[in-house]
């Protein structure tokens, strides 16, 4: 895979993207921030992003990115709002309730799709039946 030149989303400088999504300076910076957040979480388990931001000065956006990258998952030490309802969670993107509701929605949607397919099949059978009369 060829490496692509692109602008670093953090500092705007051109760099070769090797998969980190940021230039090496910003990756190093991010790793430093990650250590700061990790050690803060060790001392203050169950902190919210806002509390971490207030204590460390690290931008909420940056902390969210670390969480999305799975940096603190499993430690149960951080809480952040569910992307759907804002409930505080410590793992994944949604709270348990929303995860269930989303799964139900997906199930409902596939049920509807199945019914639709069934219907078109039935109507085809009907018309065929009419013609044969």
- Binding site residues, Zn ion, CB under 5 A: 8, 10-11, 23, 26, 82, 84-85, 87, 95, 98
CB of 59 to Zn ion, least distance (A): 14
Residue 23 or 78 with smaller CB distance to Zn ion? 23
Q: For the chain, report the end-to-end CA distance as a whole number of angstroms.
A: 62
Q: What is the smallest separation between the CB atom of 65 and Zn ion, expressed in angstroms?
A: 13
CA–CA distance, 85 with 95 (Å, rounded to integer): 8
* Residue whose CB is less far from Zn ion, 23 or 49: 23
- Smallest distance, Å, CB 16 to Zn ion? 12
Q: Whose Cβ is closer to Zn ion: residue 5's or residue 130's?
A: 5
Collect all residues with Cβ–Cβ distance below 8 Å to 25 and sequence separation of at least 6. 8, 11, 13
Q: Which is nearer to Zn ion, 24 or 39 (CB)?
A: 24
């Amino acid at each position: 895979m060829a490496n692509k030149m692109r602008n670093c989303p953090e500092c705007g400088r051109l760099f070769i993207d090797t998969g980190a999504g940021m230039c090496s300076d910003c990756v190093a910076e991010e790793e430093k921030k990650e250590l700061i957040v990790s050690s803060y979480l060790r001392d203050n388990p169950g902190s919210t992003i806002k509390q971490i931001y207030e204590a460390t000065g690290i931008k909420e956006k940056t902390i969210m990115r670390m969480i999305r990258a799975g940096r603190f998952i499993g430690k149960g030490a951080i809480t952040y709002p569910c992307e759907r309802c804002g409930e505080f969670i410590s793992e994944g993107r949604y709270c348990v309730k929303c995860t269930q509701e989303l799964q139900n929605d997906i199930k409902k949607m596939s049920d509807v799709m199945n019914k639709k397919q069934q219907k078109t099949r039935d109507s085809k059978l009907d018309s065929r039946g009419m013609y044969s009369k």
